Structure 1
Amino acid sequence: MHPLIAPLEGTLIVSCQAYPGEPMRDPGTMAQVAASVQRGGATAVRAQGLEDIRAVKSTVDVPVIGIWKDGAEGVFITPTLEHCLAVIDAGADVLALDGTRRPRPDGRTLAETVATVRERFDGPIMADCDDVDSALAAAELGIDLIGTTLAGYTDSRPPVDGPDLDLLTELAARLPATSVLIAEGRVHSPAQAAAARAAGAFAVVVGTAITHPTSITTWFRDAVTTA
């Protein structure tokens, strides 16, 4: 296990992202958010985009999981080798990329991408997976962190209300000891975070419920207006 990973066991990782066009869509703002969640106890943060990665990296002293979203359909989370290398060069401590079996924009397979990345990066790699098969395939490649990030966001599994606990339970039983299971996706409450951990997750990633005021406000607005 990579030395950056061991301290994450049983802890909270926070994804600090804002969507294009939103008031908080600014690298400096995301760095402030990252500093705030570190103060609250996050042991690592996930940052999107090269400028955000640089800004967050210069602000926090916990590991930064870097991604680069490019596009809105198909494979768009760090989708190509070029994106992967740019995320690494931006200073990410952990490289996260799409770990599904879908075709990638540059025509490379996940295996080919990971092999090339390993030639110049000795940090952990995280695969954002969508089902059991993609997770097991990523583990076979020696990818360090297996995330359930995309479960329910592809055609492979239907979305559920909250984290996909069934997927987490199955992966906890089937992943090899060399792979670390990370719960991510639709973790919207402390109770759901605890359930994800109980289902076998090594660590839990929370994003929207902590760092996206627009969504959080909408939840409360809907609760109030429909009461």
Structure 2
Amino acid sequence: MTKKEFLDAIHGQMIISCQAVEGEPLYVEEKSIMYLMARAAKQAGTPAIRTSSIRDVVAIKEETELPVIGLVKIQYPGYEEYITPTMKEVDDLTAAGADVVALDCTLRKRGDGTTVNEFIAQIKEKYPDIILMADISNYEEGINAWKCGVDIVGTTMSGYTAYTVSGTDEPDYELMERLARDTDIPVIGEGRIHYPEQAVRALQTGVWAIVVGGAITRPLEIALRFQKKIRESR
């Protein structure tokens, strides 16, 4: 799938994230079961799937034949970043057939001493035709990733870095709006979109598309949200 084909397919749409990492209820060590979540997401009309791990990229592409935004979550010593932090993960995702590779483009410490700018340049030199999605947490990081030549900026990490934790459980609509206005590449709104009304509002900020994950594909998170509201009502 070309970049234009992918971007046309997702424009104005909701991408569904189907992920389960080790320690979560839907993570099964012996075999990926995320393809079942992706099957439901396809039936619901999503134009693409976002997923983590090589095995889930392979299984979901085989099951759905939808384009996949792939990433690998791994924590290396000395790295504050954990989403596709090194070239090994980029190599693996490319070999697995990920249509888009998502990586942490925050300005946090990288264990190999390189900057994220240098890492992006290395990826683009090795894979000139790769479609890169930059997961960022604030405006500065989004602008930086755009200037480094990424293809898509996602607000994925807003609220999940030490310097963006705000105490709110709302999506970062302001960040979505500013980046959509001030860059000339597609911005994907992602992060803490829990309800349909929030999804609509996120799209109204001017972003190209949105990603919703936990509110749809993480049953423990969904159940706990119900339980919290019940407890608060007493």
Fold-level similarity (TM above 0.5): yes
Deviation at 1:220, TM superposition (A): 1.3
Q: Which moved more, 1:205-214 or 1:66-75?
A: 66-75
Deviation track 1:34-66 (CA, whole Å, cap 9, x = no partner) reads 111011011111111111111112111211000
Query: Whole-Å Cα distance in 1 between the matches of residues 193 and 67 of structure 2?
Result: 21
User: Is the contact made by 1:2 and 1:123 (CA closer than 8 Å) also made in structure 2?
Assistant: no
Deviation at 1:5, TM superposition (A): 1.2
1:99 pairs with one of 100, 105, 123: 105
Deviation at 1:3, TM superposition (A): 2.5
Asked if residue 88 in structure 1 is aligned to residue 90 in structure 2, the reply is no
1:143 pairs with one of 146, 150, 159: 150
- CA distance 1:158–1:24, shift in 2 (3 Å): closer
Residue type of the partner of 1:86?
D
1:29 pairs with one of 23, 33, 36: 33
Query: Whole-Å Cα distance in 2 between the matches of residues 161 and 222 of structure 1?
Result: 13
User: Is the contact made by 2:25 and 2:220 (CA closer than 8 Å) also made in structure 1?
Assistant: no
Which residues in structure 2 correspond to 1:37-52 (within 5 Å)?
37-52=41-56
User: Is the contact made by 1:126 and 1:144 (CA closer than 8 Å) also made in structure 2?
Assistant: yes
Q: Which moved more, 1:204-213 or 1:95-104?
A: 95-104
1:132 pairs with one of 139, 161, 164: 139
Q: Which moved more, 1:125-134 or 1:214-223?
A: 214-223
User: Is the contact made by 1:80 and 1:105 (CA closer than 8 Å) also made in structure 2?
Assistant: no
Which residues in structure 2 correspond to 1:114-193 (within 5 Å)?
114-118=120-124, 119-120=126-127, 122-159=129-166, 160-175=168-183, 177=184, 179-193=185-199
Q: How many residues align?
A: 225
Instruction: Please list every run of 5 or more consecutive structure 2 residues that lacks an aligned counterpart in the other structure.
Output: none
Which residues in structure 2 correspond to 1:50-69 (within 5 Å)?
50-69=54-73
TM score, norm. by length of structure 1: 0.92
- CA distance 1:5–1:121, shift in 2 (3 Å): same
Query: Whole-Å Cα distance in 2 between the matches of residues 38 and 113 of structure 1?
Result: 33
Q: Secondary structure at the match of 1:200?
A: coil
User: Is the contact made by 2:107 and 2:141 (CA closer than 8 Å) also made in structure 1?
Assistant: yes
User: Is the contact made by 1:80 and 1:104 (CA closer than 8 Å) also made in structure 2?
Assistant: no
Deviation at 1:181, TM superposition (A): 0.5
Deviation at 1:102, TM superposition (A): 1.3
User: Is the contact made by 2:194 and 2:215 (CA closer than 8 Å) also made in structure 1?
Assistant: yes
Query: Whole-Å Cα distance in 1 between the matches of residues 88 and 139 of structure 2?
Result: 27
Q: Percent identity?
A: 36
User: Is the contact made by 1:88 and 1:121 (CA closer than 8 Å) also made in structure 2?
Assistant: no
Deviation at 1:200, TM superposition (A): 1.5
Query: Whole-Å Cα distance in 1 between the matches of residues 169 and 150 of structure 2?
Result: 28
Deviation at 1:112, TM superposition (A): 2.6
Deviation at 1:107, TM superposition (A): 2.6
TM score, norm. by length of structure 2: 0.90
2:13 pairs with one of 11, 14, 25: 11
